[in-house]
Amino acid sequence: MQGNKGVVIGGGTMGTNIASIFVANGHDAEIVEPDREVRKNLEQRVTDSALEIGLGMDLGDTRVVASVDDIDWSDAYLLIECVSEILPLKQELFAQLEKVAPRHLPLTSNSSGFPISRIADNLETADRMVGLHFFMPAHLVPCVEVIVGERSDLSVVDEVQSVMAQLGRKPVRVNKDIPGFLGNRMQGALMREALALVDGGYATIEDIDTVVQYSFGFRFVAAGPLLQKDVSGIQTLHASQSTIFPTLDNGTGPGPTIQRLQAENKTGMRTKEGFYHWDDEAIEATRAKYTRDLQRALEIL
């Protein structure tokens, strides 16, 4: 790792938490955020997230600028884009970045859905473009997916993966640039079936959450799904798949519950109604418990 600074484009929740990973490790972070209101308390939000990581070392500095033109590239070793999930916006941004960012600097995108190959389309330096997908909350969930684009230089991919490991992350490589990558595809399959069970009247929302958190989801702290099946026996897995797979939901779009919630603008805590009903006290308590539980899980892992 050459340099001591990570550059983050976008000061929203994801960008803030990613910047805090650099800062918690004693490195500096430079954040580009054009919105004046968002910039006002951005440094403090980065500090707060860095303290939640709890590495116990001196924090690095945070610098906030309004434009790509204001970036100080000296000592930068990695750039991570965290702007809104709008493909033309990302493509336009990287077209600008490849003209001003030092040629040696890896350029990465935290896009959760767009293949890095599409984002890098028409770029002259697509060889230094790599997908770098974090999971929310990015500063507490250790895994990060390193996605190989169609034109990505594998030495750059190796470099990005090494940097993530040095920053205390758990990087995994996605060898083919597929929509949703690894985690979101598996999570999507789970969500599709969970909601199909709700839509079909097989269980309540509360019981679906309980069975995931306290049964097979509980085991994931100790082992991933494939390792766990080596423990329990692949012969059992083969038999259960033969029985269950033909009955699983195979819908190709959002089901009735999601369609209804979206149409009624019941999007969760932001609107105080989603799968559950929320008030300010419950929101504060649930978010605090969520953070504490993730911190405790990190200690176990």
> Residue range 196-215: average pLDDT?
98
Backbone angles phi, psi at 81, to 5 degrees: -90, 130
> What are the residue boundaries of the structural domains of the chain, listed by start?
5-174, 184-300
Q: Name the pLDDT band for 261 (thresholds 50, 70, 90).
A: very high
Q: Report pLDDT for 191.
A: 98
CATH number given to 5-174: 3.40.50.720
Superfamily of domain 184-300: N-(1-d-carboxylethyl)-l-norvaline Dehydrogenase; domain 2 (1.10.1040.10)
**DSSP state, residue 57:** S
Note the pLDDT tens digit of each residue in 52-93: 998 888 999 999 999 999 999 999 999 999 999 999 999 999
> Considering the chain, what is the average pLDDT of its residues?
96
pLDDT score of 171 more than 90: yes
Q: Report pLDDT for 2.
A: 79
pLDDT above 70 covers a percentage of the chain that reads: 100
pTM for the predicted model, two decimal places = 0.94
pLDDT above 90 covers a percentage of the chain that reads: 95
pLDDT score of 42 more than 90: yes
pLDDT score of 180 more than 80: yes
The Cβ of residue 261 has, within 10 Å, a number of other Cβ atoms equal to 17
CA distances to 89, 105, 164, 169 from 64, rounded to whole Å, are 21, 19, 22, 24
User: Rounded distance, CA 285 to CA 300, Å?
Assistant: 23
User: Rounded distance, CA 280 to CA 266, Å?
Assistant: 16
Q: Report pLDDT for 3.
A: 84
Q: Report pLDDT for 113.
A: 85
Q: Report pLDDT for 301.
A: 85
User: Rounded distance, CA 296 to CA 301, Å?
Assistant: 9
Indicate the SS3 state at residue 81: strand
In 129-224, alpha helices (H): 154-166, 183-199, 205-211, 217-219
pLDDT score of 20 more than 90: yes
Q: Name the pLDDT band for 8 (thresholds 50, 70, 90).
A: very high
pLDDT score of 1 more than 90: no
